[in-house]
Structure 1
Amino acid sequence: MTDAGKILMLIPARGGSKRLPRKNILPLAGKPLICWTIEAALATGLDARIVVSSDDEEILDIARQYASKGVIAYKRPNELATDTASTVDVVIDAVKAEKAQGHKPETVILLQPTSPLRTAEDILSALYIFEEHGCGDTVVSVCEVDHPRAWVGIVSKDSCLEGIDLSGKRSQDYQKEYRLNGAVYISSIGSLLCSNTIFTKRLIASIIPRARSIDIDGKFDFKLCEFFSIKSDGA
């Protein structure tokens, strides 16, 4: 596996959230949401730099509780704390901050705290795929879609459902399709800085089961994660 010392594992966690206020620190099955991602990063066993980038002191204080295990709490600039700040700008800022400290990361593993059920094994699997493909293309985690895209349409102004396949085919008769689940992104830092985007033209998929692919956006997603986290603990 790649020299782990060259890896930056970045956990971006903004303090604000409109749909679910303070979601990154809400207690999920007994611990703040962000702890799930920090602990998954630590559980990989990689000798990587694990950085939590946030504008929020409460989030940073939680990250500092893991300082003895090597987690770095990094306060991002105020201009990157807004709704309009892009993820790539947050990543580039963290990379530049690391370089200013004398570190020279070559690979970034982006782990969003809103995907708490992603495991260390999921991260390592994505990293293995990244290396297997020569580290030149971005690896993105995906999961199988619930229903075929052919069953998705639009509702017109007069309430008509349009654009769906009415052939009567069963879901298993369609080719499997996958969507981004937001849990893991891995990219070359050289490519990131040159193109100003996390994504390369060709994306490589790392598949994660749907049960571990919940991306928390609102209360319903949070409750689903609670259900699956408790079920997992009891398994």
Structure 2
Amino acid sequence: MGDTGEILVVIPARGGSKRLPRKNVLPLAGKPLICWTIEAALEAKLNARIMVTSDDDEILETARQYESQGVTAYKRPDELASDTASTADVLIDAVKAEQVAGHDPKTLVLLQPTSPLRNAEDIRAAMDVYREGGCEDTVVTVCEVDHPTAWVGAISEDSRFEGIDLSGKRSQDYQREYRLNGAVYVAGIAGLQKNKGLFTYSLRASVMPRERSVDVDEVLDFRVCEAVFYNQK
């Protein structure tokens, strides 16, 4: 197994959101959406530093409720709060802030707050895949797709549905396929800084169940997560 070195968990959370306004602090099953990710990071017990990076005072104030448990609330520069700011730039800035504070992280764990159903077990599983791969390739969490991509096509201007497999095969006759679910990313910080990007040439996958792979982008996603949490009670 590889040596991860010091681990930095980064939870990036902008204040702006067009399709679901203020989604990162919307109350989900009794607490702001972002709290589910912060608490999952704490429960994973990675012996890591945890940073919430945001441009928004309400989000940062929410994160400060966990300061006694080692969570840092970091206000990112204004230029990294726009729609055009890349995730890689936000992560590099977070790493620089850690280094200025006297820390030297070697491994980055990115947790998007829009994946509230992802739990501590999923985070630890992704870290295990990273270590088993020698800490060289970026690890991404994935889930199995609902339907074969052979059934996905395009619609032309005259309403023709094109590019799909019309062989009549059953879904179970196709090879299993997976998609990124955006819940957990694990990467080496040296590569992130050198390449200005999160992904290595080859990736390793940590598989999560579909029921924990909901990415909150609009109201329907939020309602699905609410239903899952309330059904667990």
- TM-score when scaled to structure 1? 0.97
The residue aligned with 1:106 is: 106
The residue aligned with 1:63 is: 63
The residue aligned with 1:84 is: 84
The 2-side partners of 1:53 and 1:204 are apart by 26
Deviating beyond 6 angstroms after TM superposition, the runs of 4 or more aligned structure 1 residues are: 1-5
1:163 aligns with 2:152: no
> Which amino acid is 1:6 matched to?
E
> Which amino acid is 1:165 matched to?
D
The 2-side partners of 1:167 and 1:62 are apart by 53
Tell me the matched-pair count. 233
- Residue 178 of structure 1 deviates from its aligned partner by 0.3
Partners of 1:138 and 1:203 within 8 A in 2: yes
The residue aligned with 1:191 is: 191
1:143 aligns with 2:143: yes
Which whole-Å deviations, capped at 9, do the CAs of 1:167-209 have from their partners, x for residues lacking one?
Answer: 1100000000000000000000011111111000000000000
The residue aligned with 1:30 is: 30
Other structure's SS at 1:125 match = helix
Other structure's SS at 2:9 match = strand
Partners of 2:52 and 2:72 within 8 A in 1: yes
- Structure 2 gap segments, 5+ residues each: none
The 1-side partners of 2:65 and 2:198 are apart by 29
Partners of 2:2 and 2:134 within 8 A in 1: no
> What do you get for the CA RMSD once the two structures are aligned?
1.1
- TM-score when scaled to structure 2? 0.98
Q: Aligned pair in 2 of structure 1 residues 74, 5: CA closer, same or farther (>3 Å)?
A: farther
1:176 aligns with 2:207: no
The 2-side partners of 1:132 and 1:4 are apart by 11
The residue aligned with 1:117 is: 117
Which whole-Å deviations, capped at 9, do the CAs of 1:117-173 have from their partners, x for residues lacking one?
Answer: 000000000000000000000000000000000000001001110111111100000
- Residue 228 of structure 1 deviates from its aligned partner by 1.3
1:207 aligns with 2:193: no
- Residue 46 of structure 1 deviates from its aligned partner by 1.9
Partners of 1:5 and 1:47 within 8 A in 2: no
- Structure 1 gap segments, 5+ residues each: none
> Which amino acid is 1:226 matched to?
E
Partners of 1:141 and 1:208 within 8 A in 2: yes
Partners of 2:34 and 2:116 within 8 A in 1: yes
The 1-side partners of 2:4 and 2:70 are apart by 14
Other structure's SS at 2:46 match = coil
The residue aligned with 2:129 is: 129
The 2-side partners of 1:98 and 1:217 are apart by 29
Partners of 2:2 and 2:132 within 8 A in 1: no
Name the % identity: 67
The 2-side partners of 1:202 and 1:122 are apart by 21
Q: Aligned pair in 2 of structure 1 residues 5, 130: CA closer, same or farther (>3 Å)?
A: closer
The 2-side partners of 1:182 and 1:31 are apart by 21
